[in-house]
Amino acid sequence: MKTKCCDTHLSEEEAQELLSQNGISRTKIKTSILLLLSKSKKPLSASEIYQKYGPKNCDISTIWRTLKQFHEKGITREINLGEDFFRYELKDTQDEKDHHHHHVRCRNCGDIKQLEECDLSAFEKMFSRLGFKKMEHYLEFTGICSKCP
């Protein structure tokens, strides 16, 4: 089984190029965060990045500001995996086709509608063959609704 669909291991030069393309200063910290995200096999939390980069080398507030900036520029995706904090992952440069639930939320006005179920039991059967138990899944759609710009 393929466990990662998009391996985006950035080189230091590519990371710096990505910063420049988005009008962000090429600092050591920002470059390092990009590299950490690109090397990680799972989305990272701010405190994980803080631990990996070294608490002596940088303040946690800088990590937060950087993650917020990356998110605003669309470089990363901010996701919650059922924990009480967010994780961050690099987006592929291509079209974004990730994310999924049985809700539609307007990212502008916050309106949320519940949807009918989507049958993903076939996936769950695959997981049970891999030894997983008590599978659950979560599907969410987000977008900008017709009332919003």
Residues binding DNA (CB under 7 A) = 20, 24-30, 45-47, 57-62, 64-69, 84-86
Q: Should residue 65 be labelled a site residue for a copy of itself when binding is judged by CB under 8 A? A: no
Q: Should residue 5 be labelled a site residue for a copy of itself when binding is judged by CB under 8 A? A: yes
To a copy of itself, the closest distance from the beta carbon of 15 in angstroms equals 20
90 bridge partner residues: 76
Q: Should residue 9 be labelled a site residue for a copy of itself when binding is judged by CB under 8 A? A: no
**7 — phi, psi (to 5°)?**
-85, 110
Query: Residue 52 binds what, of a copy of itself, DNA, none (CB under 5 to 8 Å, by partner type)?
Result: none
* CB 56, CB 77: distance < 8 Å: no
Q: Should residue 79 be labelled a site residue for a copy of itself when binding is judged by CB under 8 A? A: yes
Residue 106 three-state SS: strand
Beta-strand relationship, 87-90 and 112-114: unpaired
Q: How far, rounded to the nearest angstrom, does the alpha carbon of residue 125 sit from its chain's CA centroid? A: 26
Residue 50 three-state SS: helix
Which string of x and - marks every residue 85-124 that binds a copy of itself (by CB under 8 A)?
-x---------xxxxxxxxxxxx----xxxxxxxxxx-xx
Query: CB-based burial of residue 68 (10 Å sphere; 0-12 exposed, 13-18 middle, 19+ buried)?
Result: middle
Q: Should residue 84 be labelled a site residue for a copy of itself when binding is judged by CB under 8 A? A: yes
Query: Residue 36 binds what, of DNA, a copy of itself, none (CB under 5 to 8 Å, by partner type)?
Result: none
| C-alpha–C-alpha distance, residues 83 and 3, integer Å | 21
**Span between the terminal Cα atoms of the chain, in Å:** 41
Residue type, 28: K
Q: Should residue 10 be labelled a site residue for a copy of itself when binding is judged by CB under 8 A? A: no
Number of residues binding to a copy of itself, judged by CB under 8 A: 56
Q: Which residues bind a copy of itself (CB under 8 A)?
A: 2-5, 41-43, 78-82, 84, 86, 96-107, 112-121, 123-124, 127, 130-146
